[in-house]
Structure 1
């Protein structure tokens, strides 16, 4: 299972002294981009390809709070993938001391920055997507390619 440990920082806090909802989305994106970088797709490669991930929908579920300077153990796995890799459901689970604290599920596609439309990823990026651990409720998604 792909996992990173991050910290709940000052800028992640809200008025109620716990991690704000958009911080979960930011941390999810950070872990997502770390995965891609470690699998041959650092930001420089996405820039070269003129390709980027685009989030079409996020769902956040909360179970426990995070406070300032808490360690966040964040996993990432695939909850769904189109056979051509054009669409995916990426799931980040946030753990505090081994207990599930939150879960973010993002519907993601690949955006061609030249044509300004959804596209399929190159073959080596599809391999990185297929290598991702899968959730228990993993499902095949329809292609977003036309």
Structure 2
């Protein structure tokens, strides 16, 4: 895997739509798995989230299609951090999905924050998590907000 690739895998029959290409919601599924893999790689496993009673939520998800992805193709998903607010931990990620031949198939951009799972309110993250987020690959247009 490349340094900012956090998911690689085959497109399954269950992920195909009536037009015989990857269904729209499967793109979001691949990106969510890539984010989970990325956070775990950086040191923030689901167990750590559970201990802190914090979970990530999305406010916006934008999908830009570039090329069709078909059944049995292998894809890879790169993730880049595009924005991080240091006061309230709001974040934005860019996901780039590549076909097995290296062509860019799609770009998925998300904006999100952190939810306290008991209070059901937006919350900040523990201070040490900011150090972990500093390990996430940055986009060339990365913006940090104080």
Q: Common fold, TM-score beyond 0.5?
A: yes
Name the CA distance, whole Å, in 2 between partners of 1:137 and 1:109.
20
Q: Which deviates further from its counterpart, 40-49 or 16-25?
A: 40-49
Query: C-alpha deviations, 1:20-61, integer Å up to 9, x for none?
Result: 111110110000001111122211111111110001110000
After TM superposition, the structure 1 = structure 2 runs for residues 1-146 of structure 1, keeping only pairs within 5 Å, are 1-3=3-5, 4-84=7-87, 86-96=89-99, 97-141=101-145
Structure 1: give runs of 5+ residues left out of the alignment. none
Which runs of 4 or more aligned residues in structure 1 lie more than 4 Å from their structure 2 counterparts after TM superposition?
Answer: none
Name the CA distance, whole Å, in 1 between partners of 2:47 and 2:86.
26
CA contact (8 A) 1:89 1:106 kept: yes
Count of matched residue pairs: 142
TM-score scaled to structure 2, two decimals? 0.91
Secondary structure of the 2:69 match is: coil
Provide the aligned C-alpha RMSD in A. 1.4
Query: C-alpha deviations, 1:79-108, integer Å up to 9, x for none?
Result: 111123610101110011211110000101
CA contact (8 A) 1:9 1:69 kept: yes
For the structure 1 residues 141 and 56, does the alpha-carbon distance in structure 2 shift closer, same or farther, using more than 3 Å as the test? farther
Q: Residue 141 of structure 1: CA displacement?
A: 4.4
